[in-house]
């Protein structure tokens, strides 16, 4: 019909065993324009999935009869259903099991309602490209991932890794998060040229003394002397000289990334070709965490 407007109402299934949280989530999502169905545990959730079609599954982890992780394992290998895991359990092992079982995103309780809605809307957007994350290692001390070179998947990667740092002091979390974001976005934009047919490789190693991140992009790398558009080559007397270069080349404003990262982490090292970068942040913790250092964690999946 001419002039008619059509709206797509996304269908969301909430699987949560707490009645108060389930009702609160239902009210929040309905007020945000979503069609909502609820289930009180994993068994009931699985029945709902078998009876109807949904665009997104909001899934609690620990529930009676069937956990969220077990329900996640019941989904078909080729399922297109987006799954957001939610739990007060921020143990690295729980997070990494969610990632290995192809959860789209993970949010820790208690969460800010506005943030949850933002995550849901991002998950429901059409993907830039195939957004599957290949988990090469899911040991909490050694996480290794490979994924298609696009911004949407890169943001998901950062969301998962951000949760792994939840036990660190706030200033350390913020520094590492900002530095990793700069390096990861550089890898997507400059290294991989946002080409989803290419892959980016990320590794995160954690001990009680340090955090080590390595990012390898599919590009040919660069020569430091050619970075006229970056603040890293500015002399002290001209701290913004690179902005003129960016204007002339028609490059968006910025260029402070590498300089910023160097100020946020303790060590930053590129390989010879400059298509792989490693950053190190030393930790000053009161004592080692059993979760991070226990040999029993090796091979967690």
Residues 68 and 170 in one domain: no
Segment among 4-18, 228-242, 287-301 with least mean pLDDT? 287-301
Average pLDDT of the segment spanning 65-82? 91
Higher pLDDT, 226 or 197: 197
Residues 118 and 146 in one domain: no
Across the chain, mean pLDDT equals 85
Give the model confidence (pLDDT) of 168-195 as tens digits: 999 999 999 999 999 999 999 889 998 9
Look up the domain containing 118 and give its range: 10-125
pLDDT tops 80 at residue 204: yes
Q: Which of 125, 146, 173 is the last residue of a domain?
A: 125
Is residue 222 assigned to a domain?
Answer: yes
> What was the pLDDT predicted at 248?
72
Structure-token pair, residue 131: 């957004």
Edge-to-edge order in the sheet of strand 105-108:
35-39, 11-15, 56-60, 82-87, 105-108
Q: Which of 125, 142, 164 is the last residue of a domain?
A: 125
Residues 118 and 142 in one domain: no
> What was the pLDDT predicted at 255?
61
Q: Is the sign of the CA dihedral 89, 94, 99, 102 positive or negative? A: negative
pLDDT tops 60 at residue 13: yes
- Asked if residue 153 lies in contact with residue 133, where contact means CB atoms within 8 angstroms, the answer is yes
Residues 87 and 220 in one domain: no
Q: What is the CATH number of the domain that holds 68?
A: 3.40.50.2300
Average pLDDT of the segment spanning 79-88? 90
Total domains in the chain come to 2
pLDDT tops 60 at residue 284: yes
Residues 157 and 115 in one domain: no
Average pLDDT of the segment spanning 124-141? 80
Average pLDDT of the segment spanning 73-87? 90
Q: What is the CATH number of the domain that holds 239?
A: 3.30.565.10
> What was the pLDDT predicted at 143?
95
Higher pLDDT, 83 or 233: 83
Is residue 3 assigned to a domain?
Answer: no
């Amino acid at each position: 019909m001419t002039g008619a407007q059509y709206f797509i109402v996304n269908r969301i299934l909430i699987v949560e065993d707490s009645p108060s949280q389930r009702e609160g989530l239902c009210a929040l999502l309905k007020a945000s324009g979503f069609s909502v169905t609820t289930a009180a545990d994993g068994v009931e959730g699985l029945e709902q999935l078998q009876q109807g079609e949904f665009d997104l599954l909001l899934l609690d982890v620990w529930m009676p009869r069937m956990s969220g992780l077990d329900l996640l394992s019941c989904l078909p290998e080729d399922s297109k259903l987006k799954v957001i895991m939610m739990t007060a359990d921020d143990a690295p092992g729980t997070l990494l099991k969610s990632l290995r079982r192809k959860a789209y995103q993970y949010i820790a309780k208690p969460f800010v309602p506005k943030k949850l809605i933002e995550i849901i809307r991002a998950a429901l957007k059409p993907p830039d490209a195939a957004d599957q994350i290949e988990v090469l290692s899911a040991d909490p001390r050694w996480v290794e991932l490979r994924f298609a070179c696009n911004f949407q998947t890169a943001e998901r990667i950062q969301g998962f890794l951000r949760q792994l740092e939840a036990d660190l002091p706030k200033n350390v979390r913020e520094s590492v998060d900002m530095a990793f974001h700069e390096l990861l976005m550089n890898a997507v934009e400059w290294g991989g040229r946002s080409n989803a047919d290419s892959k980016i490789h990320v590794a995160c190693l954690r001990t009680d003394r340090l955090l080590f991140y390595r990012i390898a992009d599919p590009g040919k790398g660069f020569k430091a002397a050619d970075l006229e558009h970056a603040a890293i080559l500015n002399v002290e007397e001209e701290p913004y000289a690179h902005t003129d270069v960016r204007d002339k080349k028609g490059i968006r404003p910025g260029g402070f990334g590498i300089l910023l990262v160097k100020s946020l982490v303790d060590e930053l090292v590129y390989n010879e070709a400059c298509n792989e970068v490693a950053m190190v942040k030393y930790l000053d913790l009161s004592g080692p965490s059993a979760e991070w250092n226990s040999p029993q964690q090796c091979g967690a999946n």
